Structure 1
Amino acid sequence: MNRKLAAFLLFLGLCLLFQIAFSIGLFYQNTLNNERTIASIETRIALDLSRLKIANKKFRTAADPTSIQQYLHDMNETLQQIDSSVLVVSLQDISIKDKNVGQATKQRVLKSPEQDVGIEVQLIPINWWASLTLVAPLFALLVSGLRYQYPSVKKSNRKMLEAIIPEPVIQKLIINLKDKSIKFGTHGEPILLPNKPFCFYAALVDYCSQTDLPNLKHNNEVPNELLLIANKYFYRLIELGHTKRKRPDFSANLDKTLSEIRSALDEAFKHNSEMKEQFYPPKAQGEGSRSKMHNYAIINQQPELVEFIGK
């Protein structure tokens, strides 16, 4: 086999290999993005659940299909604006009018204190031409050219790889529902929490990351949206087999709950105290009535620095 034919076959093989790798990566990235979008949809519906007119057997209320369809239509318009490949097609068996029957769907169940709410989402497939890339032939051409033009390329690449400094690992706050613990960083020690403070803190982190300028004051009642998220995490603990106890009242004894949370965070961040502030519910400043006016919401919270496990 002559040199030119060998180079050509190597180019074709590498081009196919890089194209397959790119397509697989695109598929898994799309799957991951879809799961994140579905989780955001579930959270959004959980926050809006109190004002949605869906059927409720417990309270014997009937659904309002028109308002539900309009709600789904508005949500899908928002999803399309961000080029999402996920659409919400049904909520509690009330479907949108222009549902595409031929596309794949996923069923999810949103558990709330009053009832389970069924959600059906539709996944928009990626067009096959979207997985084609010019990067594959360019890399193939580069590698095959180096292979035949520079015999010492392997030795040079080895030296280059050894010289590359690995990127620093991003340290995150990990909220683990599987063992009811919180920890900071990959080498941090997990700190276990009782049901009530654990669920309330998970909900507080979730709520503050989704709310612009959250205003949580002691002299006001805990927002219903925050309570709904806390209840959702409590029922998730039941699903994971952690507890069979009665659902706690998350709006009662707020000072004690926040105190337990701060104590656990102090322990979790004992070696990274400079990072604690953005995950820490601020303490009240002053005494008497002034202490009831402070905002215990988590400020400057970066969602990308929080990881939920078992959510």
Structure 2
Amino acid sequence: MLPIRVKLIYGCLFFVICLVLFGSYILAKAVKSTENNQLSLANIEKRIALDLTHLNLPDDFLKHSGSKEAVIDYLAKLNSQLKETPIFVYSIEGITEFPARADLIEKQLQTPQKVFTISFVINNNILNKNDIAVFILVCLFSLAISYLFFLSERTKLQVAKQLPEPEPNSKTKPILIVDLQNKTLAANCSPDKPVALANKPLCFYLALVEFCTENPDVVLNQNKDVPEELLTLANKYFYRLVELGHTVRKRPNFTNSLEKTLSEIRAALDDVWQDQPEVKDVYYPPKAHGEGSRSRLHHYGLKNITLENIEVIGK
């Protein structure tokens, strides 16, 4: 079923089509009627001009009063012949049997002796009985056009319902992808832009993620020794790199140059999340601020990260 709003739109479409078509018909009819009336008037003027010599009209120059009855009788006969037209002759030289009216059309007939004035009335009836039939046909035609549009819209909706819904994007949430096989970091939204990371910072970062998710309350301070559990995790990832054939070097000492290791991690994360800097805080080991007592309070652990924020390939 189509919504009520759509049905109202097609109802208005039907009304507009009817109005335009019937209005065009009435306008064309009015133009044609005006042309026909002008032609009929010209023919009637010629007819009267030929009959003027036989009419007993008044003549002031000859002091002849004429015969009003004869003129009225002529008008009656002439109008009886014009009854199929919208025109009738109202008067000749002011002689008429009809009451005065304001919608007269006056014409002047020039003869060698005198100028005669003839008055006409044109009944401009725009609508008649035949127009009702035309209006019905216009409505039927408009209804057919509107119904075709209606069927087209309904078909589109049916086709749209049959189309399979697009699968929801399973990776709408930003995720960090760590690839041990290639030793790279990448964002799931830009997997084609990986950032390489050296063995030591890569292993330490994965260990830091796993340690902080399992021990969220432990404070990691650079002025204190690295927890043994964190070192064990870092060594585990290093041995995994060895298994993958990436290195035959001696196992690095993860307790040495801790600030340098963290700086390399931060630099790689800056490149990974350069298009989404607001996400970086979840993955970013915090920097130390200040000196002395303030630095001793520094915690480089990842406070907000969870295992859902990271995907490890080759683990």
Asked which structure has the greater RCO (Cα within 8 Å, sep 6+), the reply is 1
